[in-house]
Amino acid sequence: MMRKLRVAAVSAAALLALTACGSGSPTEGGTTTAPAEGSEPAAAGELTPIEVGVIPIVDVAPIYLGVEEGIFEEHGLDVTLTLAQGGAAIVPAVQSGQMDFGFSNVTSLIIGRDAGLPLKIVATGPQTTGDGDDDFAHIVVPADSEATSLADLEGKRIAVNTLNNINDSVISEGMRQEGGDPESIEYVEMAFPDMVAQLEAGNVDAIGAVEPFVTLAEAAGGQRVYGQYAEPVPDLSIAAYFTTDQKIEQDPELVEAFTAAMKESQQFATDNPEAAKAVLPSYTSLEQDVIDELTMPRFPQEHDVASLEKIAELSLDSGLIDAIPATEDLIVQ
pLDDT value of residue 1: 37
- Please tell me whether residue 207 adopts helix, strand or coil conformation: strand
Query: Using N-to-C axis directions, what is the helix angle for 166-177 and 305-317, rounded to 10°?
Result: 90
User: Cα–Cα distance between 229 and 182 in angstroms, integer?
Assistant: 16
Q: What is the pLDDT of residues 256-303, one digit of tens each?
A: 999 999 999 999 999 999 999 999 999 988 999 999 999 999 999 999
Nearest to 98 by CA among 152, 161, 64, 53: 53
Query: Considering the entire predicted model, what is its pTM?
Result: 0.85
* Cβ atoms 173, 232 nearer than 8 A: yes
How many helices (H) and strands (E) the chain has is answered by 14, 10
- The average confidence (pLDDT) of the chain is 88
Asked if residues 274 and 296 have their Cβ atoms less than 8 Å apart, the reply is no
DSSP symbol at 224 = E
Q: For 32-45, give the DSSP string.
A: -PPPPTT--PPPTT
**Is the pLDDT reported for residue 18 higher than 80?**
no
Class of the CATH domain delimited by 137-227: alpha beta
Kindly report the CATH class assigned to 48-128+235-330.
alpha beta
**137-153: per-residue pLDDT in tens?**
999 999 999 999 999 99
pLDDT exceeds cutoff 80 at 116: yes
| Residues 179-203: tens digit of each pLDDT | 999 999 999 999 898 999 999 999 9
* Per-residue model confidence as pLDDT tens digits over 211-260: 999 999 999 999 999 999 999 998 999 999 999 999 999 999 999 999 99
Question: What integer is the mean pLDDT of 46-70?
Answer: 96
Ranges in the chain annotated CATH 3.40.190.10: 48-128+235-330, 137-227
DSSP 149: S
Least confident range from 36-45, 48-57, 163-172, 275-284: namely 36-45
- Res 11: pLDDT: 31
Q: What sections of 97-239 are H helices per DSSP? A: 106-114, 166-177, 192-200, 213-219
